[in-house]
C-alpha cells in the first residue's frame, strides 16, 4: 500500500545549533537543474560529502520521508556523488487539481462521504470520480474538491485548511480565533480499523521548561528522528499514517494547544513530555476517547486514575525495584545495606515494603562513611557463612557504594562468603567503583532502558540511523523508536480500540520493554516492564527481558 506521512513541524526545530555535536553536515546549495518525471517537477541534486538526508530535506523544504520515497536508492544510505531527485513542491500536483468550478472542502473528523454529499447536494459518485478516490473511505483533514451546482448556496464556515501531503509549520501563533464547532447533534464514533490513522506527536522543541535538560532541543530533535525511523519501518507493514508534530513552545501552555482544534481527529496523541503539560491534553483526549501516551515522565502515573485511555510508557522506580527482587523468596538469606544519613530514604522504604509483602525476612545494616573502615566485622555478622547471601545495597551515593563493595569483596575473597549483589541503575555510571566487583559478586540491576548492541534489530536501526542522519542515535532516539513502533503498530494491528486487546499484543523493542497493567477498569495503563542486567564472573552480561 502507498504510504503517506504528513509531518507538521515548527520551523524552530530546524534552528538548533551544534545539532550533531562534533559532526557538522556540509552546506546544501539548492540545485538550479530541474527535470520532470511522471508529470512532477524535480530538482536534480548531486550529493556532496558530509551532506545528510536531514540537511538536504531542510534546504529544499521537502520532508525526509518524501525524498526517500522518491529515491529508492536511499534505502541503503546516502552516498557521496550520488544523484537524487527532489520535488520542487509537494503541493504542485494537488494545486493543479483546483478549478474555479469546484469548492474545496476539508474533511472533519465526524464527517462521512454521505454527509458531505448531502451537504452540497451532489452524489457520492461525483465526489469519488472528481477526487479519484478508490473507495468511499475518507480521512480527517483530507482535501476534497466538490462540484457545486449553480443553484446551491453553501454557507461559509470557519475552518483551518491544512493540506495532507506536504510539510507545513504548526505553530501556536497561527491559531485562528474562530474554531471549528461540531453540530450539537453529532457524536463522534471511533471505528476499530481505518485506512489511514492520525498520529499527533507533541514535543518541547524550543521549551524553556525547567525540567528540560541542558541541550534539550537536540534531545527532542533526536527523539523526532527516531520516531520517523519507526514510521518508516511500519510502512513495510502496510500502515498509512498522517503524523503531525507540534512544538509545544509555540503555545503559551498546553491548554491552548488543546483548545486550538489542532488535535481534533487524532487517533492517538503521544506527548507532551512533562507532567504539568500532560494534564490539560489528557483531559481533552479523555473527553474524546483518544489514547494519550506519556513518553518519558514516570511521575505522570498519578494521572492514570479515571483516565482509561492513558498510557505511561516509562516504568516507575517501584516497578523497577520490584522487578529486581522478583526472584527472591522467603528461603533466601537477605541482607539490606543502606546509608544511615537517610539518603535515598524513599528507595529504602520502598525496598522494605517489597520484601515485607513477599514475606521475606532480612537483616539490616546502616552506617556512614566515617565508620566504613571498621564496619567489616558488623557486615560479617549479618551474612551467612554457609548459604548464598543476597545483599541489597540501597544507595545511589558513589562514595558509599564504593565502600560497601570494598568491604563485601574482602569477605567474599578472604573469608569465602558467597554473595549475590543487588544494586541500582545509577551504579553503571559510577567511575570510582571497581567494575570487577560487579562481576565477582554477580551484580543484578533492574533498568528501564538498556540497549543490547549485539541484537540484530539494534544493528539494523544503527545502520539506518547513521545513513539517514549522519550521526549516532541517543537514548532519546531509541526511546522514540520504541514508542512509535509499539503504539503506531498497535493502531495498525488492533485498530483504534487497541487498549482493549493489549493482552495479545507484543513487540520486540530496542531499548525498553512494554508490559502494561491497570489498577482498575476505569484507570489508565502503566508500564511495568524492566530489563534485568546480570554481571557474571566470566565477565559476560546476561539480559533478562520482562515477560508477561
The DSSP H or E segment spanning 201 is: strand 197-203
Q: Is the pLDDT of residue 521 over 90?
A: no
pLDDT at 149: 55
CB atoms under 10 Å from CB of 331, counted, come to 8
Kind of pairing between the strands at 362-367 and 333-339: parallel
Domains 22-92 and 93-164 in one fold = yes
The DSSP H or E segment spanning 206 is: none
Cα separation of 89 and 111, whole Å?
A: 29
Specify the long-range contacts of residues 30-36, CB closer than 8 Å, at least 24 apart: 30/59, 30/60, 31/86, 34/88, 35/85
pLDDT at 5: 40
pLDDT at 372: 60
pLDDT at 137: 77
Share of the chain above pLDDT 70, in %: 80
pLDDT in tens, 140-188: 668 788 876 543 333 333 333 233 222 333 433 333 333 344 444 444 4
CATH architecture label of 22-92: Roll (3.10)
Instruction: Spell out the alpha helix ranges (H) of 216-298.
Output: 216-235, 254-259, 275-287
Mean pLDDT value of segment 99-109? 65
For residue 399, give the nearest of 430, 426, 364, 423 by alpha carbon.
Answer: 430
Mean pLDDT value of segment 113-121? 79
Asked if residues 171 and 247 have their Cβ atoms less than 8 Å apart, the reply is yes
Q: What pTM was estimated for this model as a whole? A: 0.67
The topology (CATH level 3) of 93-164 is Membrane-bound Lytic Murein Transglycosylase D; Chain A (3.10.350)
Question: Domain segments of the chain: what residues?
Answer: 22-92, 93-164, 320-447
CATH architecture label of 320-447: 3-Layer(aba) Sandwich (3.40)
What sign does the dihedral 259-260-265-269 (CA atoms) show? negative
pLDDT in tens, 6-36: 443 333 333 333 333 333 457 888 888 888 8
pLDDT in tens, 428-486: 999 999 999 999 999 999 999 999 999 999 999 999 999 888 889 999 999 999 999 99
Cα separation of 205 and 248, whole Å?
A: 7
Amino acid at each position: 500500500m502507498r504510504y503517506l506521512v504528513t509531518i507538521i513541524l515548527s520551523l524552530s526545530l530546524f534552528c538548533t545549533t551544534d545539532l550533531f555535536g562534533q559532526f557538522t553536515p556540509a552546506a546544501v546549495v539548492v540545485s538550479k537543474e530541474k527535470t520532470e518525471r511522471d508529470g512532477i517537477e524535480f530538482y536534480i541534486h548531486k550529493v556532496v560529502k558530509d551532506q545528510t538526508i536531514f540537511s538536504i530535506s531542510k534546504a529544499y523544504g521537502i520532508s525526509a520521508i518524501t525524498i526517500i520515497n522518491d529515491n529508492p536508492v536511499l534505502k541503503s544510505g546516502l552516498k557521496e556523488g550520488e544523484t537524487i531527485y527532489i520535488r520542487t513542491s509537494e503541493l504542485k500536483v494537488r494545486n493543479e487539481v483546483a478549478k474555479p468550478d469546484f469548492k474545496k472542502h476539508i474533511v472533519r473528523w465526524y464527517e462521512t462521504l454521505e454527509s458531505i454529499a448531502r451537504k452540497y447536494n451532489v452524489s457520492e459518485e461525483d465526489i469519488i470520480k472528481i477526487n479519484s478516490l478508490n473507495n468511499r473511505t475518507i480521512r480527517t483533514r483530507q482535501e476534497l474538491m466538490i462540484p457545486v451546482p449553480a443553484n446551491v448556496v453553501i454557507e461559509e464556515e470557519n475552518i483551518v485548511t491544512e493540506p495532507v501531503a506536504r510539510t507545513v509549520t504548526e505553530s501556536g501563533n497561527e491559531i485562528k480565533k474562530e474554531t471549528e464547532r461540531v453540530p450539537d447533534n453529532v457524536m463522534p464514533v471511533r471505528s476499530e480499523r481505518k485506512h489511514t490513522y492520525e498520529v499527533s506527536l507533541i514535543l518541547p522543541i524550543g521549551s524553556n521548561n525547567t525540567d528540560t535538560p541542558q541541550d534539550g532541543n537536540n534531545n527532542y530533535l533526536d527523539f523526532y528522528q527516531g520516531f520517523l525511523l519507526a514510521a518508516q519501518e511500519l510502512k513495510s507493514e502496510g500502515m498509512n499514517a498522517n503524523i503531525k508534530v507540534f512544538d509545544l513552545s509555540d503555545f503559551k501552555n498546553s491548554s491552548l494547544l488543546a483548545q486550538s482544534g489542532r488535535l481534533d481527529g487524532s487517533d492517538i496523541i503521544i506527548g507532551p513530555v512533562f507532567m504539568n503539560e500532560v494534564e490539560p491534553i489528557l483531559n481533552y483526549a479523555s473527553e474524546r476517547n483518544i489514547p494519550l501516551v506519556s513518553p518519558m515522565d514516570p511521575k505522570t502515573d498519578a494521572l492514570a486514575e479515571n483516565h482509561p485511555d492513558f498510557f505511561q510508557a516509562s516504568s516507575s522506580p517501584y516497578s523497577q525495584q520490584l522487578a529486581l527482587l522478583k526472584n527472591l523468596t522467603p528461603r533466601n538469606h537477605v541482607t539490606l545495606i543502606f546509608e544511615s544519613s537517610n539518603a535515598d530514604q524513599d528507595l529504602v522504604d520502598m525496598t522494605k515494603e517489597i520484601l515485607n509483602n513477599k514475606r521475606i525476612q532480612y537483616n539490616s545494616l546502616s552506617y556512614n562513611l566515617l565508620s566504613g573502615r571498621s564496619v567489616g566485622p558488623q557486615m560479617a555478622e549479618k551474612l551467612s557463612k554457609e548459604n548464598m547471601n543476597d545483599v541489597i545495597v540501597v544507595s545511589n551515593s558513589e562514595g558509599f557504594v564504593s565502600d560497601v563493595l570494598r568491604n563485601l569483596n574482602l569477605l567474599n575473597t578472604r573469608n569465602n562468603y558467597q554473595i549475590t549483589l543487588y544494586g541500582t541503575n545509577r551504579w553503571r555510571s559510577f567511575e570510582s567503583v571497581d567494575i570487577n566487583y560487579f562481576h565477582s559478586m554477580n551484580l543484578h540491576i533492574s533498568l528501564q532502558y538498556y540497549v543490547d548492541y549485539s541484537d540484530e534489530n539494534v544493528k539494523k536501526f544503527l545502520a539506518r540511523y547513521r545513513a539517514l542522519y549522519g550521526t549516532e542515535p541517543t537514548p532519546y532516539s531509541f526511546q522514540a523508536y520504541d514508542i512509535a513502533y509499539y503504539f503506531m503498530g498497535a493502531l495498525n494491528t488492533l485498530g483504534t480500540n487497541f487498549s482493549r486487546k493489549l493482552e495479545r499484543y507484543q513487540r520486540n523493542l530496542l531499548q525498553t520493554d512494554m508490559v502494561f497493567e491497570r489498577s482498575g477498569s476505569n484507570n489508565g495503563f502503566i508500564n511495568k516492564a524492566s530489563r534485568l542486567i546480570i554481571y557474571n564472573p566470566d565477565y559476560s552480561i546476561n539480559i533478562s527481558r520482562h515477560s508477561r
